[in-house]
Amino acid sequence: METFIGYGRWFQEQLVPGLEQVRVVSVDRKAGGGFELKLDSGELFTARAVVVATGLSGLAHLPAELAGAAVDGPTPPARSRTAPSTTT
């Protein structure tokens, strides 16, 4: 695992050396399209698209609440798991 993490950090440093570490506390869909992201600092940003990168693909988990969020996005791999629905 340490080798995998080290590789990821090396790759990031090569391609995005000035990466700013921030925490996104909310992502909301805007009525006119796109998204609004709020950081823990209170800063707001808008984006046309949002990518949720969960890390290790074999451990991917898509919560039921997000399953329909990107209907035009790529289809997750067959081994990705979606949380069971809590509605009947």
Q: Is residue 7 part of a domain?
A: no
Is position 30 within any domain? Answer: yes
Per-residue pLDDT of 5-57, as tens digits, reads 888 889 889 998 898 888 899 999 999 999 999 999 999 999 999 987 766 55
63 found inside a domain: yes
pLDDT tens digits for range 45-68: 999 999 877 665 555 666 777 777
Contacts of 30 (CB under 8 A, 6+ apart): 36, 46
55: left (phi over 0), alpha (psi -120 to 50) or beta: left
The boundaries of the domain holding residue 47 are 19-67+79-88
Nearest-5° Cα angle at 10, 9 to 14: 115
Asked if the structure places residue 9 within a domain, the reply is no
Q: Give domain status of residue 10, yes or no.
A: no
Name the domain count of the chain. Answer: 1
Residue 11 lies in a domain: no
Q: Are 45 and 35 in contact (CB under 8 A)?
A: no
